[in-house]
Amino acid sequence: MVHVGDKPDQARLAVARGRIRLGRATLALLRQQALPKGDVLTVAKIAGIQAAKTTSTLIPLCHPLALTGVDLAFRVDATGIAIEAVVRTTGKTGVEMEALSAVAVAALTIYDMCKAVDKRMVIGAVKLVRKEKI
């Protein structure tokens, strides 16, 4: 791991986004909360938060961080779901990996919860859109 001990603690923020494409019938079931595994977006939000909190156990050289905030938002449209994660901490290193992990795991959770009815889903465009010291 990179040594960050000499760096000052600073408030930090990262925003990541991604997307999962789903079929129209799957989206209709999701909107009605009629999928076999239940409330997809609530479960995906919790999974994304959990992923952000445990990123250092997934990515070998990431520093474990005490996060001060994690939020996920979903926007359902005609072709799929846009996912956005905002992660905050006060520390010596940024939280971009935590934001990216949150989006990726939220998308994987949606995939898992919808796979019984949709075999053509595509996860993509996972990217960091903002990283800053605040």
Select which of 39, 77, 112, 118 is catalytic: 112
**C-alpha distances in angstroms, 85 versus 2, 48, 114, 119, 127?**
25, 8, 21, 26, 10
39 is catalytic: no
Structure tokens at 16: 């990541």
C-alpha 50/C-alpha 106 separation (Å) is: 10
The answer to whether residues 72 and 105 touch, using CB atoms and an 8 Å cutoff, is: no
C-alpha 91/C-alpha 126 separation (Å) is: 24
Tell me what percent of the chain is helix, strand and coil, each rounded to the nearest 5: 35, 35, 30
> Catalytic residue numbers?
112
